[in-house]
């Protein structure tokens, strides 16, 4: 059975998650969707139907399921899957999780990537972050949670743009906000919420599922939007990153060994940890030249390496996209170099010990 895609909707307090999700729920495209909200979250759907339901699951008129988290998210998702399989809930093809305004989406991403029961049943889809066009700049400056939400997003929805346009100072700030978000997360699609975006614009492709073919990986990575080198000495301009968030892509022409890839992934998890907001990439591996590896993870947890059936394009270089707090491109390059050198040295030692 195909895994069910899970999209995350995050955004700081007052960013408009309630309004957006309620507007999306009115569209036919949400009919096959289960929406999970926090028990103490901000969403009020159909006059608090969720709070009034004994089992915390409500079938809305358009066929969408809504439920409140009464405990651990893993148990909630397992319960939804079990009840759907048993026929006590209507079928759903997508799950949307709305996080609280102060939440770091990293742990939810980690759970979907690492928890065995979830990994077998669900696939991480798009991470959608809402940013208030009126207060967004100040919020990003004052709250690291808001910064993380924008940094890990696949799509950023700009809300309250109509209000910002009516305020001269806010209108100018909205332009600066777009530039700031582009520096924090170059690959995220910016969506204008004032035009009531359709469901597929917010939640639809692209996202990467390791059970799919290589098609779409280039779009999933969007690696070409990231700076692939730091500026040269004397070159005008700074690297495209926020003072606290760094976004960059490492490109390598020479393939890595399988041992080097394993060592690099272990080193990321052990040495970068929570400062690694997100990493995703396609890796050329010497022992498997025709089947590239896909690396995908958040913070201290990396998904097990997935292998594609073939290259998605003629570009067979390793491309690794990073979004980090404080850690630099140079540090990630050095970590990769150490892994490759160690792997090469270990292979030579094994060869020398082998009987003639």
Distance CA 284, CA 255 (A): 5
Q: How many C-beta atoms lie closer than 10 Å to residue 119's C-beta?
A: 17
pLDDT of 50 over the 60 cut? no
| Mean pLDDT of the 157-186 span | 84
Q: Do residues 184 and 227 touch, judged by C-beta distance below 8 A?
A: no
Q: Is 241 or 295 the better-scoring residue by pLDDT?
A: 295
Under CATH, to which class is 4-203 assigned? alpha beta
Token readout for 255 is 């393939």
CATH superfamily of 217-353: CobW-like, C-terminal domain (3.30.1220.10)
Sequence-separated (6 or more) residues with CB below 8 Å from residue 182: 190, 240
Least reliable range by pLDDT among 32-41, 103-112, 143-152: 32-41
Confidence bin at 238 (pLDDT 50/70/90): very low
Q: Is 70 helix (H, G, I), strand (E, B) or coil?
A: coil
Q: Which two tokens stand for residue 104?
A: 């770091």
Is the pLDDT at 109 greater than 60? The verdict is yes
User: How confident is the prediction for the chain on average, in pLDDT?
Assistant: 79
Per-residue pLDDT reduced to its tens digit, 299-348: 666 777 888 888 988 889 999 999 888 888 999 999 999 999 988 876 66
Predicted structure pTM score: 0.80
Indicate whether 266 pLDDT > 80.
yes
Q: Give the up-direction half-sphere exposure of residue 227: CA atoms within 13 A in the CB hemisphere.
A: 19
The ranges of the chain annotated as CATH 3.40.50.300 are 4-203
pLDDT top residue among 271 and 129: 129
Alpha helices for the chain (secondary structure H):
17-25, 49-52, 73-86, 106-114, 116-121, 136-142, 144-151, 161-165, 168-184, 199-203, 217-221, 258-267, 329-353
CA distance 104 to 118: 19
- Residue 1 is predicted with a pLDDT of 62
Note whether 242 and 248 are within 8 A (CB).
no
CATH 3.30.1220.10 residue ranges for the chain: 217-353
Whether residue 131 contacts residue 156, with contact meaning beta carbons closer than 8 Å, is answered with: yes
The span from the CA of 164 to the CA of 172, in Å, is 8
């Amino acid at each position: 059975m195909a895994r069910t895609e899970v999209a995350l909707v995050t955004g700081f307090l007052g960013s408009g998650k309630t309004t957006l999700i309620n507007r999306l729920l009115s569209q036919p495209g949400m009919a096959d969707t289960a929406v999970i909200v926090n028990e103490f979250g901000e969403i009020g759907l159909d006059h608090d139907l969720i709070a009034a339901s004994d089992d915390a699951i409500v079938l809305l008129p358009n066929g969408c399921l809504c439920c409140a988290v009464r405990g651990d998210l893993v148990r909630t998702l397992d319960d939804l899957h079990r009840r759907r399989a048993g026929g006590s809930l209507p079928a759903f093809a997508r799950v949307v999780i709305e996080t609280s305004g102060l939440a770091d989406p990293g742990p939810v991403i980690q759970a979907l990537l690492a928890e065995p029961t979830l990994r077998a049943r669900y696939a991480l889809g798009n991470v959608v972050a809402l940013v208030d066009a009126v207060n967004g700049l100040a919020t990003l400056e004052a709250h690291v949670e808001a910064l993380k939400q924008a940094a890990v997003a696949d799509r950023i929805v700009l809300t309250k743009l109509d209000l910002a346009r009516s305020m001269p100072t806010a209108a100018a700030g909205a332009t600066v906000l777009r530039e700031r978000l582009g520096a924090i997360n170059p690959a995220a699609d910016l969506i204008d919420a004032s035009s009531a975006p359709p469901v597929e614009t917010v939640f639809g492709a692209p996202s990467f599922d390791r059970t799919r073919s290589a098609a779409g990986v280039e779009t999933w990575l969007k690696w070409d939007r990231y700076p692939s080198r730091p500026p040269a000495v004397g070159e005008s301009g700074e690297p495209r990153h926020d003072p606290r968030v760094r976004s960059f892509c490492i490109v390598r022409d020479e393939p890595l060994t399988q041992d080097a890839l394993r060592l690099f992934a272990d080193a990321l998890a052990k040495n970068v940890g929570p400062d690694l907001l997100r990493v995703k990439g396609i890796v050329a591996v010497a022992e498997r030249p025709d089947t590239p590896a896909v690396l995908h993870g958040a913070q201290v947890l990396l998904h097990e390496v997935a292998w594609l059936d073939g290259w998605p394009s003629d570009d067979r270089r390793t491309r690794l996209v990073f979004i980090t707090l404080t850690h630099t491109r140079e540090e990630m390059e050095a970590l990769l170099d150490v892994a490759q050198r160690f792997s090469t040295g270990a292979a030579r030692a094994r060869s020398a010990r082998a009987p003639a």
